[in-house]
Amino acid sequence: MGYGLRMANTRLEEAAGLTAADVIHSRISALPASATIGEVRAWFAGSESRRLALLADDGRYVGRLVPDDLDGTADPARAAAELAQRGPTVAPDAPASRAEQLARRTPELRVPVVADDGRLLGVVAVTADLQAFCGTGGTASC
């Protein structure tokens, strides 16, 4: 149990020698691979901070979606996995700088961390001001 202390997010320039696993966001959730487009839309609508939906099947990474992937014409009953993108992803042992580069190439500033066996381990997220990794240092903020 913590004492209410909030540590700062890990700053990008402090990441030398760290791996993607070291800067994984402290809190993420994945939707089941069976989720429909309607369910993913509702998940995004549940919080303004949700920028990337991760789909997993029994802990295995299936794909990623952003709100723009779910245009208004898509059938809400359609399987979201049909529209999901597989990449980019980063391995947990990749340098944190590589994870940062991949995250910064996406509008949502996030990249899933996926183990060699396909397990979804988390996500590396960069703050909107491009100064730090989100959700590190014991915080969930971004």
The pLDDT confidence band at residue 3, using thresholds 50, 70 and 90, is: very low
Q: What is the pLDDT of residues 81-121, one digit of tens each?
A: 999 999 999 999 999 999 999 999 998 999 999 999 999 99
Length of the chain: 142
Neighbouring residues of 55: CB distance < 8 A, sequence distance ≥ 6: 30, 31, 32, 33, 35, 61, 62, 63, 64, 65, 80, 81, 84
Distance CA 34, CA 39 (A): 10
Residue 14's SS3 state is: helix
Compute how many other C-beta atoms are within 10 angstroms of the C-beta atom of residue 29.
9
- What pLDDT shows up at residue 7? 46
Q: Average pLDDT in the 70-75 region?
A: 81
- What is the token pair recorded at 102? 């991949």
Residue 138 has pLDDT above 60, yes or no: no
- For the stretch 6-48, pLDDT in tens is 446 788 888 899 999 999 986 788 999 999 999 999 999 988 8
Instruction: Give yes or no for residue 136 having a pLDDT over 90.
Output: no
Query: What pTM did the predictor assign?
Result: 0.86
Question: Which of 12-16, 18-22, 64-68, 69-73 is least confident?
Answer: 69-73
**Residue-level pLDDT at 2:** 40
The CATH code for residues 12-125 is 3.10.580.10
